[in-house]
Amino acid sequence: MADSLVDMVLGAVNPDVVTKLAQGVGINPDQAQSVVNNAVPAMLGGLASSAMSADGAKKIADAVANQDPSVTDNPLAATGGSDLLGSLLGNDKVDQIAQAVAGSSGASANVVKSMMGTITPAMMGVMGQQDPSTWSSPTGIMNMLAGQKDAIAAALPAGMGNLLGMGGAAMGAAGGIAAAPRNAIPTGGFNAPSGNTGSGNTGSGGGIPSWVWAVLALIVLGGLYYYFTGNKQEAEMSAPAPAATETSQAAPAAPAAPAAPAAPAAPAAPAATMPAITKPAMPALPDVAGLTKQATDALDGVKATLGSVTDAASATAALPKLEAANAGLDKIDGLVTALPAAVKGPLVAAVAPTITEVNGMMDKASAIPGAGDVLKPALDTLKAKLSALSGS
């Protein structure tokens, strides 16, 4: 989006609206404008923080879907904004934001909360005016708000970034990952997952995703465990056996008969030897990072193909690509199924948000007149493969 959400919401809550708001709550217009200027980025920051959890992102997506976008034409006519904001952020967080905005604007916290309740429907309306892919799913909402982190942080009053989890380390983490699993999303700060840009969960900062480090750590720990436990077993098995000690005295020889020669001594028993222990070769570790990349690349290709479908003709052109994607996912499903549970979990979590997005795009393509019938066999097969890959 060309403009930031902060600017677009402030555009909807324009000076005329602010003047009427000021009259309604009994403060002067300049003070009311200060409240709006500080409250809008603070509220968006609170939403972005809440969107880092799957439940929070879903609540926001539902709120945007249920709000008439035309509310921005007359924000003062909307009702229920205070209750809605409390359900999205939690009443404690709303109170904290109101106190902080009150401190920077000079208005009372109750006045600020009342104005925030008026702003909330307009904020949902502005978000609903954007491309549906940015708000129609929890993943889309999460990515849209994470992508706004710099503009929101720049507009926040001094010191409020820490209150909203946008200061220091949280802001640095926003450039990297998640799903994770786009399917378990972390709370606090703008630690955004892969986004809906098809980058395979690499986040907006271009760094190495944290799930890759997690997978590599599991591989290294597994190798170390095998190495040390294997050495210990070898040392115990290859220790030399203690030498046998003589426990009996030879009996005194009987007087020899004059003509009888002495009996020859019995030969000594050969010393027992332990067989050499050969340490088994360490089994090859699975290339989990490479397999994760294969899966995300395949899913990105499916997203690009589905995004090109607009009618029956484009659906016919997309069909061979979807069939090829099904064949590729067959191989990936087989490799993932064979993985140990300890490393399979992080892989599934890493691709889960993209799978959710692909499922939404398949539903959308199926609803296009003329395209649904063409794509149905391939999409049914693809849905089954994605269900198997995600373990659902």
pLDDT at 242: 44
Average pLDDT of the segment spanning 341-368:
81
pLDDT(127) > 80? yes
Cα 294 to Cα 183: distance, rounded to the nearest angstrom = 19
Using one digit for the tens of pLDDT, what is the confidence trace for 327-339?
Answer: 888 788 777 777 7
Q: For the chain, first and last CA: distance in Å?
A: 34
Nearest-5° angle of CA 182, CA 205, CA 170? 75
Q: Which residues of 283-293 are buried (b: 16+ CB within 10 A; e: fewer)?
A: eeebebbebbe
Neighbours of 144 (CB within 10 A): 26
Lowest mean pLDDT among 191-195, 222-226, 270-274: 191-195
pLDDT(392) > 70? no
Q: Which residues of 225-260 are buried (b: 16+ CB within 10 A; e: fewer)?
A: eeeeeeeeeeeeeeeeeeeeeeeeeeeeeeeeeeee
pLDDT at 375: 87
Q: Using alpha carbons, select from 217, 215, 221, 377 the residue that is nearest to residue 296.
A: 215
pLDDT(352) > 70? yes
Within 8 A by CB and 6+ apart from 22, the residues are 28, 29, 31, 32
pLDDT at 4: 92
pLDDT at 182: 32
pLDDT(56) > 90? yes
pLDDT band of residue 166 (cuts 50, 70, 90) is low
Cα 299 to Cα 78: distance, rounded to the nearest angstrom = 41
Alpha helices by DSSP H, the chain: 5-12, 15-25, 29-50, 54-66, 81-89, 91-105, 109-128, 138-147, 149-155, 160-163, 169-173, 210-238, 288-307, 312-337, 341-366, 371-390
Average pLDDT of the segment spanning 364-383:
88
Cα 48 to Cα 148: distance, rounded to the nearest angstrom = 9
pLDDT(32) > 80? yes
Cα 281 to Cα 293: distance, rounded to the nearest angstrom = 28
pLDDT at 17: 94
User: Taking the alpha carbons of 185, 186, 189, 195 in that order, is the dihedral positive or negative?
Assistant: negative
- Amino acid identity of residue 285, one-letter, is L
pLDDT at 341: 66
Entry field: residues in the chain: 392
pLDDT at 116: 96
Q: Mean pLDDT in the chain?
A: 75
pLDDT(235) > 50? no
Most confident of 38-52, 228-242, 306-320, 363-377: 38-52
Using one digit for the tens of pLDDT, what is the confidence trace for 172-223?
Answer: 333 333 333 333 333 333 333 333 333 333 333 344 455 544 545 556 455 5
pLDDT at 48: 94
